Structure 1
Amino acid sequence: MRLSVAAAVATFCAAILLHPLFEGGAWFWGSLGAVLTVLVASAISGRLSLPTWAAGLVSLATLGVYLTASFAGDKAWALFVPTKGSAAELLKLLATGWDDIQRFAAPVPGDNPGIALLTTGGVGIIAIAVDLLAARMRRAALAGLPMLALATVPATILLEPIAWWAFIIAALGFTGLLIADGRERVGHWGRAVLVRRTRAATTPSPGESADTRGLRLSGKRIGFAAIAIAVVVPAFLPPLEPVSFFSFGVGGQGTGGRGNMIQIPNPVTNMKGQLTLPEKRTVLTYTNNDDVPRYLRIYSLDIFDGDQFGLTKPKGAPENRTDAGPLPPPPGLGGGVETVNAVTDIKISEEVENLAFLPLPYPPREVRADGDWRADVSTLMVFSTRDSASGLEYQVATSEPQPTPDQLRALQPPQQPNVEARYLRLPEDFPADLRDLAYEQTKGAETQYDAALKLQEFFTKTGNFTYDLRTQGSSTSALRDFLLSSKVGYCEQFASAMAVLARAIGIPARVAVGYTGGDKVGDRWTVGTDDSHSWPELYFEGVGWLPFEPTPAGSAGQGSARVPEYARPQPTPTATSSSPTPGATARGEELPPGQQPGRNPREIDDREARLGGAGLPAEEPTPLIAKIGIGVAILLLLLLIPAAIRQITRSRRVRALGWKVSAPSDELTARVIAGSHPSVAAAWAELDDILYDYGMAREPSETPRALARRLTQRYEFDAESAAAMTSIAATVERVLFARDPGVVGPLGKDLRKVRRALAATLSRGRRIRAALLPPSTLRRLRSMGEGVLDGFDRLETLRFRRSATR
């Protein structure tokens, strides 16, 4: 039974490591209940002397009953007996919990039923494995492997290291399990093994087990020392980058999420709210290396429900953190397209609130921003579940595709596009007249690129559309009215309508929401609330996602909206264009000298090579020789700690050696008799350390006079050194034993003579070793460590006693 209890305690101590993954304490009590349930099952199995396989089945069945009562009691018989309905309910909760952990970031809500079931069941299964290994198979050391699984989950999901106190609790639990197992084994030996500071073992009487207290205390010393080393040593080692074994996504939707769920406001509503503000407010400013304005995308809307476009919950695995290196490659971009490499420095205004996504030029390749920012692989949106972009300064490197019209016309639609189906999806009840409108407006287009140009021209020229913020909203009827009747709307209507019509003719499309390039103010580009904008992005295999601009040029409130170079009707296609994005080619700006784009050298499957010249300026690495020098310096400082402690102790004693007492008194006599005269005590302690450092340690039974005689004779002191040693010994004896020691003068001069005489008998190497690694200091440090362990040992002897009086 002792091993079963130790296994349960060890499992729950290891489960404490899961605490940073959850909010609230629901997971704690659920896990505790699971561990106690397994303990009860183990006790029953032990009582009935069941074989190991049967004990495992009993534990699993008992855990199933507990989970049924806790999570599906309303579907069970008598609230706890599993039924078909309760089993189906548990399976449903498991599926829900698995989906939830894909979209939540730690800490997740602990009261979420699905997540709570996964956690409780997982801890229960670990408890069963630990109990079987430790209590049934008597393999306590192997029981650490299932407990290690509990530590692996937070270590691989979280970016922060495991809390030291949680590690200590888990380690103490495992150490207790090993000690309990060792006690069970050694208890059958016969005679206890003697260890330091334990009473002599006695031979047990017949029928009694051996007294294993001594060995148990020795095991605790080893365990506590190992835990202390495991906690202290890593503080002096460089941190390791976390490795993710579980690619759990993060993200969500809503405004009142829990558990660090990503907060996503309605992008369309937020954009229109900014456009209708009575006065312009600065949202951000930026500079870049080619001084070209660029659209800054925040959201990528990919789901069209028939009324408006919405956002799929983004997923950002730990390996997609922005500080982990280059971002995932942009979908669909091949190696035969020219690119413009740029580095943009962006500063968000501190007045911006609750912005969990970074405004970025597309496609970002590398982002440097303080905080936990992650990239969604499919859209390259960069978001955070913990940090806000308010007041944030960050850098982004981009390699923007720069296709020519000829290149786009030469692209052939693949039989199986390398793009997700959601970018082509339309509702089943999508109006047929809108689909007919799409085909009518793209009639005669030989390629998807030509069809995209015709759709853009329909909104900007031939369709007679008008820009106005006063619209009737977003719905299927509103969309039909906008396209077929009123033809009045603002950027959201234009972007959504073009994306919908593009999907209707088979071109993958989505809607981007963010800001236009803004206006140049001083040496920085300034983006305000009136620069809020929405535009469609269309997908072309081999090039990727390209923005188009269907909002009519010169629209009020959209003065900084620009048509990209490749989207302009050109009778003669140009081989190279000055910029790929809507904000880069509005007025045909030329890149400054030295910034002309070059061919993208990246390959599709090489993430590092894809960065090409678009990477952020590399931080100057510390030279190897400097790293070696720093490491050597730190090592020397650590090695000099004992020497520093010895020097401090010696300086303190030297100050005491100068004290002189000339008149005895009753109080002074009492102190002197007790051996507490400051000058004499300091001299004697310093002499004792000198002898220990030089390998001439005083014997415990050696009197001061015998010590003086041994040193002067063995090391052949000269007359002056011998007299100094005799004076010290006589003064110490007088202080210790005389009723009235008389006047005690300073002993510093005599001590220095004795020290020089002793040092002269040693080799140079021994003197250096005594100065750098003084054995006397090492002895004190070792004694302090033993004292700490002795304190833990005393805990074993604590007993609660009943009061003798009633």
Structure 2
Amino acid sequence: MRLTFASGVATFTAAMLLYPLFDGGTWFWSSLGAVLAVVAAGLLSSRLSLPAWAAPVVGVAATWIYLTASFAAGEAWALLVPTKGSVVELAGLLGVGWTDIQRFAAPVPETTGITLLTTGGVALIAIIVDLVAARLRRAALAGLPLLALATVPATILPDPISWPAFIVAALGFIGLLIADGRERVGHWGRAVLVRRTRTTAPAAGGAPGVRADTSGLRLSGKRIGFAAIALAVLVPAALPAMEPVSFFTFGVGGSGTGGQGNSISIPNPIANLKGRLEQPVPQVVLTYTNTDDQPRYLRIYALDTFDGQQFGMTQPKGAPQNRTENGPLPAPPGLGQSVKVANVVTNVQISEEIAELRFLPLPYPARQIRVDGDWRADVDSLMVFSTRDEAAGLGYEVATSEPALTPDTLETLPEDRGEVDPRYLQLPDDLSPEVRALTETVTADATSSYEAAVRLQEFFTKDGGFTYSLRTAGHSTSALRDFLIRDRMGYCEQFAASMAVMARLVGIPSRVAIGFTGGTKTGDRWTVGTNDSHSWPELYFEGVGWLAFEPTPSGSLGQGSARVPAYTQPQPRATGEATTPTPGSTSSAADEPQDPQQQRNLRELDREGTLATGGLPPDESMPLIAKIGLGAAALLLVLLIPALARLITRNRRVRTLGWKVSEPSDELTARMVSGQGAAGRHSSVAAAWAELDDILYDYGMARQPSETPRALARRLTQQYEFDADSAAAVTAIASAVERVLFARDPGRIGPMRKDLRQVRQALAATTSRGRRVRAVLMPPSTLRRLRGMGERLLDGFDLLENIRLRRTAAQKGS
């Protein structure tokens, strides 16, 4: 019976790991009832001594009755007995539940069908665990079905399993193993109930003997179990997360990187980019409409690192608070509050034919997205990605707040870069001197960073004599130099990467974007095909943030749908300031610019509301050295807990030495203040004696249990050669203790703080420096108390385990 109960507890504690999957608690109570039904069936099987194969049959019957009563009582006979109508009802609910699970993303709403599926699944696991552990006596193997419950949230949710829930589940499994161990030991004979004692009472056969004390074995097993749980929780938290390497090569990329589970699957964008551009028949990738009916570049990836041969992307980080369903995305980096913006809402529909795309094509900067599934925004780049959903066939709406810029505005921007990450300016030391010299020549007359950026763009599109061609071989380490100095022929990847590198050479932070151009107008929608795949540079300017530039030649001699941004062209006198900042638009047809505080909320387009800009969520891109430092600091604080506890205890006792208190400090103190002699009036003596006892234990001079206070004082004085003052101090403490313990009237006892300090200094002078340091940082007296607390906790578990045995023994005695 013990194993049946333990199996039920283990199953239910493992089922608690499912809580992040549901939006509510109905499943919890329904699953608890199912587990209790299975436990009741197991107890009945044990009572009737049914064979092992019959117990699961009884469990299935009990589960069926329970599910019928809970979900199809109206169709059942007497609300319990299944009928044809109740079976049909349950089958219909299962089908609806399965459909709902496929339709909703976690946390799912608690529909009746989903609750029924969950309850039935937990009950099935409970039946299997009971069969393996209680019938087949293979408790360790019962961990496999329990693990199946744990893998459900681990594979569905991007967040790790909550450590409190993991601890509860692990304790349930350890309880099952302990119950199995006690059952096996119980088959050897009657259990011995007395712990840690030796006795000469007659043994079971009537002859006197010594009963074996097996408490150490039980304590060791429990300690190992608890230590394993602690390590399983603490060690992963202390290890740094691994990140993938860069992959965006200058030229045709190699094989891509992929992932599974909670990893982000990122195919090689360059290999896919050129492959799409070379398709003989373009395929539709997506269509979109927007409120100003203007084409816009749709960015998928933002690549930010360059090592001389390849651009790569820092692993994006999406915190739970940055889910798209939580409202506005993080604020665009670098965009000031005073900059006027144009609000645009874009409706995107992804083709069903797109495979393995886990990043959303979006206009920049996206401020809010309405999309089904678990999609999250990276704080630095505003890329939106998912670790479990794919974009194929997805429809979504995105609200953008685009800065309305003119060349005059950009000319007056401050040259200060603010707090932009250094990786956007990083270049290798061995970069070709010819490339550096060419960059200086192109930007020699520029008076501002914006003008330098425009000079670089015009160098590629007008002045440099570049030719657009997909037939290029940019594979070697000198591909950048060859493209800029010798060949001057390539496609969008070479143009984007080259301008990004040259921008960094003149001190402008840059990165490379990969996605699609604005496409072409087909009916009332813009159509984007594989031939619109594109790469372009994004440059950072303090006050307006990241701006797209277009160095790739366009038109019939280049990439047909590429467009030069309006803010990089001379401003016509008759057209005012309203321009669209994206490369996909060259007109001023955008919405009237608004202040960011007056933007409409995408989720409240049908009512009055504003789009909250908010602040940046906490940045998760903490450097590895900082993580190691925080881990070391946390470990140090944990190690200093015994020292802090010892310091608090000593200060409390020292404050007691000059006046009266009522609470005992340890075993001897308890004896003193319990009413023996006059101790209740002299608790300061108890505090002094307890502190002296801890000092001796910390210095490795522990008092012997049979040693009287006077004998202890004499031994310390002789063994450690105390001087007259120290000998008098320890003798005074010992005398006060004896008077309090044994004298009817101990008389007046003065303050003992000075005596205790004198004895502590005398003892410290006789020990090594290492022993003194250990007594401060890792005091053995405190560790002894912590160990005692652990043993008392384990003793409590043993009491619970022995309740039934003791009752049985009492009944036999009566």
Q: How far apart are residue 295 of structure 1 and its match?
A: 9.3
Q: Deviations over 1:573-611 (max 9, x none)?
A: 88974259995354489xxxxxxxxxxxxxxxxxxxxxx
Query: Could you tell me which residue of structure 1 aligns to residue 641 of structure 2?
Result: 641
| In structure 1, C-alpha distance between the alignment counterparts of 2:74 and 2:660, rounded to whole Å | 87
Matches within 5 A, 1:421-460: none
Look up the SS of the partner of 2:701 in the other structure.
Answer: coil
Secondary structure of 2:526's counterpart equals strand
Compared CA separation, residues 175 and 367, structure 1 to 2 (3 A): same
Residue 104 of structure 1 deviates from its aligned partner by: 0.7
User: 8 Å contact 1:187–1:211 — kept in the other structure?
Assistant: no
Find the partner of 1:752 among 732, 757, 764. Answer: 757
Could you tell me which residue of structure 2 aligns to residue 137 of structure 1?
136
Per the alignment, residue 370 of structure 2 pairs with 356
How far 1:702 moved relative to its partner?
1.7
In structure 2, how many angstroms separate the alpha carbons of the residues matched to 1:123 and 1:690? Answer: 55
Equivalent position SS for 1:190? coil
State the SS of the aligned residue for 1:299.
strand
CA–CA distance in structure 1, aligned partners of residues 165 and 378 of structure 2? 39
Structure 2 letter corresponding to 1:111: T
Q: Is the 8 A contact 2:27 2:110 kept in 1?
A: yes
2:256 equivalent in structure 1: none
Q: Distance in 2 between matches of 1:573 and 1:389?
A: 26
Match of 2:157 in 1: 158
Paired residues for 1:323-472 under 5 Å: 327=359, 344-345=364-365, 356-357=370-371, 367-368=381-382, 376-378=390-392
- Alpha carbons 2:11, 2:35 under 8 Å: kept: yes
Q: 1:134: how far off?
A: 0.8
1:578 aligns with 2:578: no
- State whether structure 2 residue 812 is matched by structure 1 residue 764: no
With over 3 angstroms needed to count, the CA separation of the structure-2 counterparts of 1:315 and 1:713, relative to structure 1, is farther
Match runs of 1:228-247 below 5 Å? 229=230, 233=234, 237=238, 245=261
SS at match of 1:538: strand
Partner of 1:300: 348
Letter in 1 for 2:530: F
Checking the alignment, whether the CA contact within 8 Å between 2:10 and 2:172 is kept in structure 1 is yes
2:526 equivalent to 1:536: yes
In structure 2, what is the equivalent of residue 125 of structure 1? 124
Deviation at 1:137, TM superposition (A): 0.9
Over 3 Å counting, the alpha-carbon distance change for 1:141 and 1:368 in structure 2 is: same
Task: Work out the CA distance in 2 between the residues paired with 1:285 and 1:2.
Answer: 57
TM alignment of 1:672-687, pairs within 5 A: 673-674=678-679, 676-687=681-692
Q: State the alpha-carbon separation in 2 of the partners of residues 789 and 127 from structure 1.
A: 27
Which residue in the other structure is 1:187 paired with? 186
Aligned partner (choices 695, 713, 722) of residue 717 of structure 1: 722
Aligned position for 1:27: 27
Q: 1:538 to 1:187 in 2, by over 3 A?
A: same
What is the alpha-carbon distance in structure 2 between the residues aligned to residue 625 and residue 166 of structure 1?
A: 30
Q: 1:375 to 1:582 in 2, by over 3 A?
A: farther
Counterpart of 1:149 in structure 2 is 148
2: distance between equivalents of 1:185 and 1:57?
25
Q: Deviations over 1:726-775 (max 9, x none)?
A: 23322333343334444433333333332233223222222222222111
Contact 1:373 1:382 in 2 (8 A): no
Alignment TM-score, normalising by the size of structure 1: 0.53
Residue 301 of structure 2 corresponds to: none
SS of aligned partner of 2:766:
coil
Secondary structure of 1:177's match?
helix
CA displacement, residues 47-97 of structure 1 (integer Å, 9 cap, x when unaligned) = 6756545554665576567667877899999996687x9888877655543
Identity of aligned residues (%): 52
For residue 703 of structure 2, the aligned residue among 674, 683, 698 is: 698
Shifted more, 133-142 versus 712-721: the winner is: 712-721
Indicate if the aligned counterparts of 2:660 and 2:682 stay in contact, CA closer than 8 A.
no
Structure-2 separation of matches of 1:742 and 1:572: 107
Amino acid aligned to 1:690: I
Q: 1:751 to 1:145 in 2, by over 3 A?
A: same
Q: 1:383 to 1:34 in 2, by over 3 A?
A: farther
Provide closer, same or farther for how the CA distance between residues 234 and 77 of structure 1 changes in structure 2, counting only shifts above 3 A.
same
Amino acid aligned to 1:126: I
Q: Structure 2: 5+ residue runs without aligned partners? A: 244-258, 265-287, 294-327, 402-419, 421-459, 472-517, 537-549, 567-579, 589-615, 662-672, 808-814
Aligned to 2:325: none
Report the 3-state secondary structure (helix = DSSP H, G, I; strand = E; otherwise coil) of the residue aligned with 2:370. Answer: coil
Are the equivalent residues in 2 in contact too, given 1:10–1:174 (CA < 8 A)?
A: yes
| Contact 1:565-1:577 at 8 Å conserved across structures | no
Give the secondary-structure state (helix, strand or coil) at the position aligned to 1:143: helix
Q: Does the Cα contact within 8 Å between 1:295 and 1:583 map onto a contact in 2? A: no
CA deviations over 1:221-271 (Å, ceiling 9, x no partner): 6598459847984797469799974999xxxxxxxxxxxxxxxxxx99999
What is the count of residue pairs matched by the alignment? 555
Judged with a 3 Å threshold, the aligned counterparts in structure 2 of structure 1 residues 375 and 233 are, in CA distance, closer, same or farther, namely closer
How far residue 542 of structure 1 moved from its aligned partner, in angstroms, is 7.0
Cα distance 1:535–1:195, how it changes in 2: closer, same or farther (>3 A)? farther
Residue 537 of structure 1 aligns to which amino acid in structure 2?
T
CA shift for structure 1 position 195 = 6.8
Question: In the superposition, relative to structure 1, how do residues 545 and 298 fare at CA in structure 2: closer, same or farther (>3 Å)?
Answer: farther
- Residue 782 of structure 1 and its aligned partner are, at CA, apart by 2.4
Deviation at 1:6?
3.2
CA distance in 1, matches of 2:391, 2:110: 28
- Return the alpha-carbon distance in structure 1 between the equivalents of residues 521 and 587 of structure 2: 25
Corresponding residue for residue 780 of structure 1: 785
Paired residue type of 1:645? A
Q: How does the TM-score come out when normalised to structure 2?
A: 0.53
Task: Read off the aligned partner of 1:632 and give its amino acid letter.
Answer: A
SS class of match (1:650): helix
Residue in structure 2 matched with residue 6 of structure 1 by the alignment: 6
Q: CA deviation at 1:17?
A: 2.8
RMSD: 6.3
- CA–CA distance in structure 2, aligned partners of residues 789 and 15 of structure 1: 25
Hey, what's the Cα distance between the residues in 2 that align with 1:797 and 1:239?
44
CA contact (8 A) 1:22 1:106 kept: yes
8 Å Cα contact 1:684/1:732 also seen in 2: yes
Counterpart of 2:529 in 1: which secondary structure? strand
Note closer, same or farther for the CA distance 1:203–1:741 as it changes in structure 2 (3 Å cut).
closer
Distance in structure 2 (CA, Å) of the matches to 1:68 and 1:669: 61
Matched to 1:181, the amino acid is: D
CA distance in 1 between counterparts of 2:167 and 2:329 reads: 47
How far did residue 679 of structure 1 move? Answer: 4.0
Contact 1:284–1:346, Cα closer than 8 Å, also in 2: no
Matched with 2:598 is none
**Cα distance between partner residues in 2 of 1:44 and 1:283:** 56
Instruction: Give the match for residue 732 of structure 1.
Output: 737
Aligned to 2:501: none
Q: Classify 1:241/1:677 alpha carbon distance in 2 versus 1 (closer, same or farther; 3 Å).
A: farther
Could you tell me how far apart the structure 2 residues matched to 1:785 and 1:23 are? 37
